[in-house]
Structure formats: structure tokens, C-alpha cells
Chains A and B, each alone.
Chain A
Amino acid sequence: MSSFQQPFQHQQSAHCESGVMASLLTHAGLPMSEPMAFGLASSLAFAYLPIVKLSGMPLVAYRMPPKYLIKTLSKRLGAKLHARTFSNPEQGRRELDAALDSGRLAGLQSSVFWLPYFPAEMRFHFNAHNLLAYGREGNEYLISDPVFEQPVRCAVEDLQKARFAKGALAAKGLMYWLDDVPLEQDWSKLIRQSVLSTTRILDGMPLPWIGVRGIQHLAKQIDKLDPAQSKYNRLYLTHIVRMQEEIGTGGAGFRFMYASFLQEAGEKLGDSSLQEASAQLTAIGDNWRQFASACVRASRNKGETPNFAPIAESLRGIALQERGLMKELAAWSKR
């Protein structure tokens, strides 16, 4: 990195995509916390997709799909997002080197499995992990991986393999950076717009698998589990927990992160109704965590037949709470 450039500050984040965007924006001179980046991009969601299978299990998502946050946030802030994928891996490497040598930060999408600095037990084939490269030294890239405490290093070959891993959600070497970030923003308009959009995603989609209806759908699926299939049930319930907690969801499937956004937004606008909404969502997040604990408890005891009805019931409770909160927030955003 050239010496006149202001040094890059690594900041640990709960989630990769929001962390990378928060770092890119802060570095560009628009200070942005991770929850703020997450909330302004309306990334909170819920989806239960039985057609998309992950190791034989349905996809359960607590946020919008990969790349949504990057695109939405840069659009709303009016920043220019450059994103490139490469059909030729060698060209992808050259472009990354060129970008880093010119002192630019580069956001990269890559596979978790091929990143050697990840703990072995976290290395699954998930191709949509985001990280930030901020320099290179010899045969190593200097990387700010948002979910790690400290910056890390990664050998050129390893990062190359991770960027160009094939399979579901393949990154194709995706590299992105921001230009022309406007430093003046109309926060009131931005926050209202993004909150309204979140309420429409969570409660307003005419599809039974998305948002609050998706949560109710999941509750129905848990109700329907056949107690005789104990192995499948255990894998199914722990799969939900993994989707909710593993690799950067900030705990409770992003609910705490969004609550933190609501609080920060409330302070920015001096509006106490957002603070109340934040407290409500914190309580909902706590319920999500209890739901996760209950799923694991039901998977743990092999002997007795677990009772799924209370687990499904708690999920229905969460669905109702989220619907109530979304209605309040929708009314607020139109005020």
C-alpha cells in the first residue's frame, strides 16, 4: 500500500457482507456501523426454501440473499458500485493485484471451505463468504475477514482457489469496490425507506415461505415431524440451528443486529418509537435463541421421544410478535 493512503482499520463484524460494506464505506469517509449497513440495506428477512437443498436439508435463511446487501446499500446511498466477475481465474488474480497495488480496497466473494485460516470445523462449502483484501506482501494477501478478530493473511493459491470455487452460489472471482460515496445523506428518508422495505419483506409477500408466513410454515414442518424418524429429526432441527447461528448471523438470526440498527436510527433521528421497536425486537431475538436451545435439547436426548408441539408453538409465537412489530414499523415509516 502506498504511504500517502490512510491506513486501513480492521473492524470485527458479526456478519461478512454487512461487515465488508461497513468497512468500505467507513474507509471512503462515510462512517458506518455494521448494524447501520445491515439495516439501511433492508437485509433482515426470513425464508424457508424447500426446493434449495443444502446437504439434503431445506434452505432456511434469516437475511436477504447474498449480494443483495451490497447492491441495495450502494444504491440507496448513491455510491457507485463496481463489481466484476471473471471467466478466467488468472485474469481475476491480475485485476485484484492491480487494484491492491493502486491502493484500493477490494471486496471479494469466496468459498469458506478453501480459506485455510478458518477453523476446520467451520469449513463447509459455502461459496458466498465476503472478505476484504487491503494489500499484498510477497506471496500473501493481507485480508480483513470481517468475522475474525484480527486481519489475516492468505496465500495467493489458496485465495485463488476460494474465489474460483465452483458449485452453488459460485463467486466466479467476484471483486467489488465503491467510488463516489456521497458524504451527505438524508438519514430520515433513508431510514424510513429501508424500514418500510423490511416490513414489506417480512410481512407482505404473497408467498408462504417468505417472512412471517415462512416462520409459520417452518412451525408447521416441525409439527409434522415423525417421532419415529429420530435421526432425520435430529439432523433437521440442528440444521435449523446452524442456519440461525453459524458463520456470522450476529446471534438469533440477525434479530439483534437489526435491533441495534433500530436503536442507532432512533438516536440519529431523535425518535423514541424506534427505541421501543428495538427493545421489542431484542425480546424477539431472545425468543429465537430459546427456540434454538429447544431444538438442540430435543435432538440431544436419544432415549425418550421428544415432543415437537411446544417447539412449533414457540415459533408461532415468534411469528406473531414479528408481525406485530412489522405493522408498527410500517405505520411509523409512513408517518
Chain B
Amino acid sequence: MKLDDVPQDHSSTYGGHCKLVYAVDASGHYQGAQSDGWEPEAFATQMAVAELQEQEAEALAAWQRGELSPLKCLMYRYRLDEPALAQITGLWQWRIRRHFRPNIYPKLSAAILARYAEAFGLPVEQLITYQKDLA
């Protein structure tokens, strides 16, 4: 990559920051250069974000319809999936899926909810409030 080819596509995914990349000058000498975005990369990042947002919106709608507990929606909101959430909370995936059921969630103990609260970085009281809303 030549210095002139270092992309400056003002990608919103960089949040106004610049990354350092290595590129060659006219005489073929390497140096560091800042890039404020590359369109193909931004597209890939936005696609991953959009996929999570779509899953979150679906789970949110299902929660509001009373078909799901809030956990699934929160899982996607905090950019997790079932295997990742299982690893962080130390719960089996089948237990997590069970906790997605709206009739099971209100029965969960504060200790279990605390594990989820830590994974999401939320106060456990908030998860307890959701239990009452569901009941």
C-alpha cells in the first residue's frame, strides 16, 4: 500500500479516531500513516452491529408480547450470544435458554440474576424489577 492509497473514508465506526497503518512512500520506504476509515471494513463492522440490533429488536418485541423473558433481548443488547453468555455466567446453555421462558424468569433467585447482572454490567435490582413486570 502506498501512502497515497491509505484510505481516508471517514468511517463512523472509528468514532472520530484514526488508526495507524503501515504504508510505503514514493521511494518504497515504510512509515506509519493515520487512516480515518476504510469503507469495506466499515461495511463489515456495521453489518455485524446491524445483525445484533436486529436480533435485539426481535427479542424485545417477543418480550413485550410476553413470549420471552427480557434476558434474550439484554443478551443481544450487550453484544453476547448464548455460548458467550454461558461462558461468562458459568451456566449451561440449556439453563440460559430455559431462563428465556417468561414463566420461568420470575422464579429465578437473586443469586442467579446477579450472575446475569454482572455479565451485562447492570444493577441486579433492574433485573429483579423486570421479574415483577412479567408477573
**Are A246 and B45 within 8 A (Cβ)?**
yes
Nearest first, the 7 closest Cβ-Cβ pairs linking A and B are: A119-B15, A238-B44, A260-B30, A296-B40, A241-B44, A245-B41, A251-B21
Which of B29, B51, B84 sits near A167, CB closer than 8 Å? B84
Interface residues of B in 29-64 (CB under 8 A from A): 29-30, 32, 34-35, 38-41, 43-49, 51
Bound form: Cα–Cα A123–B45 in Å = 11
Of the candidate stretches A2-10, A210-218, A278-286, the one touching chain B is A278-286
**Are A238 and B43 within 8 A (Cβ)?**
yes
**Are B41 and A242 within 8 A (Cβ)?**
yes
Q: Which A residues contact B (CB, under 8 angstroms)?
A: 12-14, 34-35, 53, 55-56, 113-114, 118-125, 147-149, 161, 165-168, 234-235, 238-239, 241-242, 245-246, 248, 250-252, 256-257, 259-260, 263-264, 278-279, 282, 285-286, 289, 292-293, 295-296, 299-300
CB distance from B13 to the nearest CB of A (A): 4
**Are B20 and A12 within 8 A (Cβ)?**
yes
Question: Can you give 15 contacting A-B residue pairs, CB < 8 Å?
Answer: A12-B34, A147-B20, A161-B121, A166-B90, A235-B51, A238-B44, A238-B47, A238-B48, A246-B44, A251-B1, A256-B22, A292-B41, A295-B44, A296-B39, A296-B40
CB distance from A54 to the nearest CB of B (A): 9
**Are A121 and B49 within 8 A (Cβ)?**
yes
List of A residues within 8 angstroms of B34 by Cβ? 12, 149
Chain B residue nearest in CB terms to A148: B17
Is B87's CB within 8 Å of the partner chain A? yes
List of B residues within 8 angstroms of A256 by Cβ? 1, 21-23, 30
Bound form: Cα–Cα A320–B24 in Å = 23
CB distance from A15 to the nearest CB of B (A): 9
List of B residues within 8 angstroms of A259 by Cβ? 22, 30
List of A residues within 8 angstroms of B79 by Cβ? 113, 123-125
Which of B19, B44, B87 sits near A166, CB closer than 8 Å? B87
Chain B residue nearest in CB terms to A247: B19
Bound form: Cα–Cα A148–B19 in Å = 7
CB distance from B59 to the nearest CB of A (A): 15
Q: Using an 8 Å CB-CB cutoff, how does the interface string of B101-125 with A read, 1 for contact, 0 for none?
A: 0000000000000000001010000
List 7 other contacts, CB 8 Å, given A113-B78, A235-B47: A14-B19, A113-B79, A148-B17, A166-B90, A251-B22, A299-B43, A299-B47
Which of A122, A147, A252 sits near B45, CB closer than 8 Å? A122
Chain A residue nearest in CB terms to B89: A166
Interface residues of B in 71-89 (CB under 8 A from A): 78-81, 83-84, 87-88
Given contacts A161-B121, A242-B48, A147 and B19 within 8 Å (CB-CB): yes
Which of B39, B81, B90 sits near A55, CB closer than 8 Å? B81
List of A residues within 8 angstroms of B30 by Cβ? 35, 256, 259-260, 263-264, 278
List of B residues within 8 angstroms of A246 by Cβ? 41, 44-45
Bound form: Cα–Cα A295–B48 in Å = 14
Is B130's CB within 8 Å of the partner chain A? no
Given contacts A35-B30, A168-B87, A300 and B13 within 8 Å (CB-CB): no
